[in-house]
């Protein structure tokens, strides 16, 4: 997607959306598009403030990470889960950007992510990107990078294989499904950098681990952190 295309979408969102993207209540136009009530009721993990949190411990079993966090727990059926679905499949990409702003704000407040150089969203395969029209992780990454004062590199990673969706697959199948499907463009841009990989939901961690391994293989001197809007599944239950 072009920069002009993204700017056009941002303008449309600013002009036509003055309601909370979660519950629909009126909000004043500005940076936040989530009302105070929804922000207060967000089931936060507060992992960003804990360098030894369960998500960090989980990823350290697969690769050496710097910091890892998820903004909130994804419950079985609530407004936040429905909002994530809309951001991914309902053309409501502006929800993803708002989640990125909230996630980035928490990472900034923690002080643990102040040295992040580059924010890298988990990429879609180009065929899926054409079909959907956008990648919600790009907009989450934009919000996070804006808060941290870091650069976004949407094209650092690419998906070599148009793999089947992870949803509905067993844990072992999820890991096999994303094994070695990512590759790095211009690895010299990542050498020696602190790279924050961003996605919408952490379930098994298979996709994020595959991304991290691809980056570390291409640029071994870089450092990797992970951040997602939500954490779900067994990992979320184990964390609470």
d(CA 87, CA 101): 14
Looking at domain 43-239, its CATH class is alpha beta
Strands 194-202 and 118-121: parallel
Strands 182-184 and 157-159: antiparallel
Residues 80-92: b if buried by 16+ CB within 10 A, e if exposed = bbebbebbbeeeb
What is the predicted pLDDT for the residue at 162?
Answer: 80
Tokens found for residue 83: 């909002």
Q: Which pTM was predicted?
A: 0.86
What is the predicted pLDDT for the residue at 9?
Answer: 52
What is the predicted pLDDT for the residue at 33?
Answer: 77
What is the predicted pLDDT for the residue at 80?
Answer: 87
What is the predicted pLDDT for the residue at 8?
Answer: 52
| Segments in the chain below pLDDT 70 | 1-17, 29-32, 77, 164-177, 233-240
What is the predicted pLDDT for the residue at 181?
Answer: 87
Kindly give the residue spans of alpha helices, DSSP state H, lying in 90-123.
Answer: 93-110
CB 205 within 8 A of CB 235: yes
What is the predicted pLDDT for the residue at 62?
Answer: 93
What is the predicted pLDDT for the residue at 7?
Answer: 55
């Amino acid at each position: 997607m072009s920069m002009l295309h993204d700017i056009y979408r941002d303008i449309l969102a600013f002009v036509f959306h003055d309601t909370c993207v979660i519950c629909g209540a009126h909000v004043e136009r500005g940076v936040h598009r989530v009302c105070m009530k929804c922000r207060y009721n967000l089931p936060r993990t507060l992992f960003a403030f804990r360098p030894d949190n369960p998500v960090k411990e989980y990823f350290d079993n697969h690769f050496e990470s710097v910091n890892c966090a998820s903004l909130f727990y994804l419950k079985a059926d609530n407004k936040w889960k429905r909002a994530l679905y809309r951001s991914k499949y309902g053309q409501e990409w502006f929800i993803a950007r708002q989640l990125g702003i909230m996630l980035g704000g928490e990472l900034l407040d923690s002080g643990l992510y102040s040295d992040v150089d580059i924010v890298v969203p988990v990429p879609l395969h180009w065929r899926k990107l054409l079909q959907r029209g956008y990648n919600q992780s790009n907009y989450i990454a934009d919000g996070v990078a804006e808060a941290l004062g870091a650069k976004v590199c949407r094209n650092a990673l690419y998906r070599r294989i148009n793999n089947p969706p992870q949803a509905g697959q067993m844990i072992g199948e999820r890991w096999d499904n994303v094994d070695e499907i990512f590759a790095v463009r211009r690895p010299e841009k990542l050498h020696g950098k602190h790279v924050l990989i961003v996605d919408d939901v952490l379930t098994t961690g298979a996709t994020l681990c595959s991304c991290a391994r691809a980056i570390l293989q291409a640029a071994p001197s870089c450092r990797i952190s992970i951040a997602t809007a939500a954490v779900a599944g067994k990992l979320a239950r184990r964390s609470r």
